[in-house]
Structure 1
Amino acid sequence: MITDPQGTVLALFLIFCRIGGCVMAMPGFSSARIPMQIRLFMAAALSLAILPVLWDTVYPTVHTSSATYIGFIFSELLIGLMYGMLARLYTLGLQFAASIIGMMIGYSQPGAADIFEDAPESSLSGFITFAGMMILFMMDFHHIVFRALVDSYTAMPFGGVMQMRATLISFTDTLSSTTYIMLRLCSPFLIYGLMFNVAIGFINKLAPQMPVYFISAPYLLLGGLFLFYFSVAALVSQFGQSFASVFIGR
């Protein structure tokens, strides 16, 4: 039996603020293709599930003044958004790598509809992004994020002030690690594009009267797609395996 319904609801809402802020920015869950009602109900269900675990941490703070409670709401929203954005930055790095791959192999197809968002992107970039997100869900990346979110009540105690310096360090470390990993994943295509364009440049010097660009474009695309066929499995696999090391390290 609930002895303090008002305090229980206030404690649940504070947990919902942190969980909802994370769901609002998490990759996959924050997609424009998912209705807002589903995201709302999912965040509410997660908040109800972890309320007993965090009861002793959250409930004693709900008896403060209303002004302090409003401050708690904004603080919890910011913390949840930070954890969601850390995971989202990693998936945005895959889109960055996919754009590099398309540019280096000469895949200059006009932009089409994005699978997750409303922004236009090429079909190659959409295929890589969708494959990467599918691998992340298969490896239960959301469990890692939600576990870190529960542990954040120890790293960032409830009711305290959000440490902006530590937050900025987490963002910069995530960006640095993500950029390094994505450049490593697309490095075969960078080397391929560089070597192919250097070779075409030498050919153009030997025969300047030939329209080298129009002749070389099909061969550049053919070789790039051939390389992509043999490397896409390793690319997506390493992308999924590196998520835990980047996110948990923060």
Structure 2
Amino acid sequence: MIADPQGTVLVLFAIFCRIGSCIMTLPGFSSARIAVNVRLLLAVAISMAFTPLLFDTVYPRVSASGASMIGVIVGEILIGAMFGLVPRFFVLGLQFAGTSISMAIGLSSPGSGDVLEDSNETALTNIISFAGLLILFMLDFHHVVFQALVRSYAVMPIGGMPDAQKMLITLTDTLSATFLLMLRLASPFLIFGLMFNVAVGLVNKLAPQIPIFYISTPYLLLGGLLLLYLSISALVVQFARYFPVIFDF
């Protein structure tokens, strides 16, 4: 028998605020292809699973604060959203790398429907971003995120407003590290595209009467796709390997 039903419900609701806001922004779980009801039930199920682990930590703060549940709700939503945005920025960085690769090898055709979201992306960007997210799920990246959420109650206790400066520093550091990593992953294609276009420009200067654009495009596509065939496995593996490093803040 539950000694304090009201306090237990408040504990569950407080945990749900942090878990739910994290799932709302977590890559894969927050995809437009997943129904809202499924995401809601998933957040409730995970919150109920975490309640026995976090009850002794959350219950004294929820019952003793006596007050301001609105402040608790706002603080928990902000903390959970931050924990979801860190991996989301990391996955968005892979989409940025895929778009850069598409432009560098001349494969920037009109965008089609995104596999994950309601937006337009090129076919190559869809392949790379979906492969990267699939690898993360195969490596159970959500376990890392949920483990960090459980540990966050010791660093960011419930009941108080989070430090906005530290949260912004965390997000900006994530963006900076993600940009440098994606630039490194896309660098072979960027260098190839730059060298190819410089060479084509020199040929065009030497023989301006030749329609070099129509002649060079197939070679640019062929070289870019061959380079992609040789390096896409290493690109996706490096992306998955650096996720724990990026998320370990």
Q: Same fold (TM over 0.5)?
A: yes
| Post-superposition offset of 1:64 | 4.7
Deviations 1:3-56 (A, max 9, x none): 111110011000000000000000000000000111111111111111111111
- Distance between the aligned counterparts of 2:67 and 2:193, measured in 1? 59
Q: TM-score, normalising length from structure 1?
A: 0.97
| SS of the residue 2:52 aligns to | coil
What are the ranges of 5 or more consecutive residues in structure 1 without an aligned counterpart? Answer: none
Tell me the C-alpha RMSD between the 2 structures.
1.0
Matched, 1:177 2:177: yes
| Post-superposition offset of 1:62 | 2.4
- Distance between the aligned counterparts of 1:108 and 1:158, measured in 2? 47
- Distance between the aligned counterparts of 1:108 and 1:167, measured in 2? 36
Q: Which residue of 2 aligns with 1:223?
A: 223
| SS of the residue 1:34 aligns to | coil
Alignment of 1:186-201 (within 5 A): 186-201=186-201
- Distance between the aligned counterparts of 1:66 and 1:158, measured in 2? 13
Q: Which residue of 2 aligns with 1:32?
A: 32
Alignment of 1:38-77 (within 5 A): 38-64=38-64, 67-77=67-77
- Distance between the aligned counterparts of 2:34 and 2:154, measured in 1? 31
- Distance between the aligned counterparts of 2:26 and 2:66, measured in 1? 30
- Distance between the aligned counterparts of 1:179 and 1:61, measured in 2? 39
- Distance between the aligned counterparts of 2:79 and 2:118, measured in 1? 26
Q: Which residue of 2 aligns with 1:17?
A: 17
Q: Which residue of 2 aligns with 1:160?
A: 160
- Distance between the aligned counterparts of 2:147 and 2:99, measured in 1? 32
Judge which range, 44-53 or 88-97, deviates more: 44-53
Alignment of 1:106-117 (within 5 A): 106-117=106-117
Query: Aligned pairs, how many?
Result: 249
What are the ranges of 5 or more consecutive residues in structure 2 without an aligned counterpart? Answer: none
Judge conservation of contact 2:97–2:182 (CA < 8 Å) in 1.
Answer: yes
| Post-superposition offset of 1:209 | 1.1
- Distance between the aligned counterparts of 2:172 and 2:128, measured in 1? 25
- Distance between the aligned counterparts of 2:246 and 2:111, measured in 1? 30
- Distance between the aligned counterparts of 1:128 and 1:116, measured in 2? 12
- Distance between the aligned counterparts of 1:137 and 1:128, measured in 2? 14
Judge conservation of contact 2:62–2:159 (CA < 8 Å) in 1.
Answer: no
2:163 maps to a residue whose letter is Q
| SS of the residue 1:51 aligns to | helix
2:112 maps to a residue whose letter is A
Alignment of 1:78-117 (within 5 A): 78-117=78-117
Change (3 A) 1:60 1:66: closer
| Post-superposition offset of 1:212 | 1.1
Q: Which runs of 4+ in 1 moved over 6 A?
A: none
Judge which range, 65-74 or 135-144, deviates more: 65-74
Judge conservation of contact 2:105–2:193 (CA < 8 Å) in 1.
Answer: yes
Q: Which residue of 2 aligns with 1:125?
A: 125
